[in-house]
Structure 1
Amino acid sequence: MKESSNLLLKQLSMLVMQLNDHSYSKELPLLMDNSIGKHVRHILDLYDCLLEAVASSVLNYDQRKRNPLLETSSQIALIKIKEIQAGIDCLKLDKELILHQSIGSSNVQMKTQTQRELLYTIDHTVHHLAIIRIAIQHHFPEISIPENFGFAFSTLRYREKQA
């Protein structure tokens, strides 16, 4: 699972390296005036929450940092991606956590583990990579995207079986 997460982050890093800060932070109508940088920041925020939860045993995605520099600076985003990859490499997958989550008007608390939350973060990353892929293909067709960028691992396996 760590390998899958790092693979997705490597793909993201390779994409971000191709974007200058203007393209990276440009508000795009296709994304409801959000930018690729905002989607990257959102991906990294969730990983950050998970990695920080290891120390306190409390995970709350609602309290993510939302660092605006990650939205506007591709270089800062690349540094953060490397930090997160290093953190994932050291992550103990069996660590017990308490997840705090707001759902509508309710606040939920439940037991979880780092392994389960890493899986959630991987799925979340794939979802946002798919959105980024659509934006890149529409607004920046000159940017090279890996063939599997933004596709769930299960979709890729299914396609392999169909071929």
Structure 2
Amino acid sequence: MKKSIIKSLQYTLNKSTDLLTQIDSDSYINNTVGPFYSSVGSHIRHTLDFLNCILNSIENNNDIDLTLRNRDEAISKNKYKAIEEVDSIKNRLDNIKNIEDIVYVIDDCGTGKIGINYTLESILAQANSHTIHHFASISFILYQLNIDYEIKGFGYNATTPIPKRKGI
């Protein structure tokens, strides 16, 4: 039961891979959709940077400082590198042993850096929701570009009632 968030996060990450195998490289890097002019690749990169920050920190017994993410731009430009990174993160998640551990998380929530105590389980749950949120942004971009894909529930939180969902 305690590893259920890891399985949920891996399930969510599988949707990244599903998407990346369905769209072409030009669609992955297309940043012509306003108002933010971001690409599918930039959203994937952002979610993977978030997860890598968490994993790198716990693997090195450090605080999790979300303001110090790596921001690997190669991932935003190369969907195959993104697929490799997704696979790496899924494997690293399997190595987590003490999901109930308290971790100190540093972030800037709009007024400067603050530190918050989390359980590792709760920061991973936040990462899962964060990834799904970015899937919704990705869905908007792909819709604007008239790019079709088929991934059940992509961009929707699991708690969204199915009758409220469109296009799945």
SS of equivalent to 1:12: helix
1:8-157 correspondence runs (5 A): 8-30=12-34, 32-54=36-58, 55-92=60-97, 93-141=99-147, 143-155=148-160
TM-score under structure 1 length normalisation? 0.89
1: CA distance between counterparts of 2:31 and 2:156? Answer: 24
Name the structure 1 match of 2:166.
none
- The letter of the residue matching 2:17 is S
SS of equivalent to 1:90: coil
Percent identity over the alignment is: 20
Offset of residue 137 of structure 1: 2.2
Indicate how the Cα distance of structure 1 residues 31 and 24 shifts in structure 2: closer, same or farther if over 3 A, else same. Answer: farther
Consecutive unaligned residues of structure 2, counting only runs of 5 or more, are 164-168
- The letter of the residue matching 1:110 is I
2: CA distance between counterparts of 1:28 and 1:145? Answer: 22
2: CA distance between counterparts of 1:63 and 1:16? Answer: 26
TM-score under structure 2 length normalisation? 0.86
SS of equivalent to 2:118: strand
1:8-28 per-residue CA deviation (whole Å, 9 max, x = no partner) reads 111111111122222211112
1: CA distance between counterparts of 2:103 and 2:67? Answer: 15
2:162 corresponds to 1:159 = yes
1:52-81 per-residue CA deviation (whole Å, 9 max, x = no partner) reads 121223001111001110000000000000
* Alignment: residue pair count: 157
- The letter of the residue matching 1:104 is G
SS of equivalent to 2:94: helix
Indicate how the Cα distance of structure 1 residues 19 and 4 shifts in structure 2: closer, same or farther if over 3 A, else same. Answer: same
Considering fraction of residues, name the structure with more helix: 1
2: CA distance between counterparts of 1:159 and 1:25? Answer: 30
- The letter of the residue matching 1:159 is I
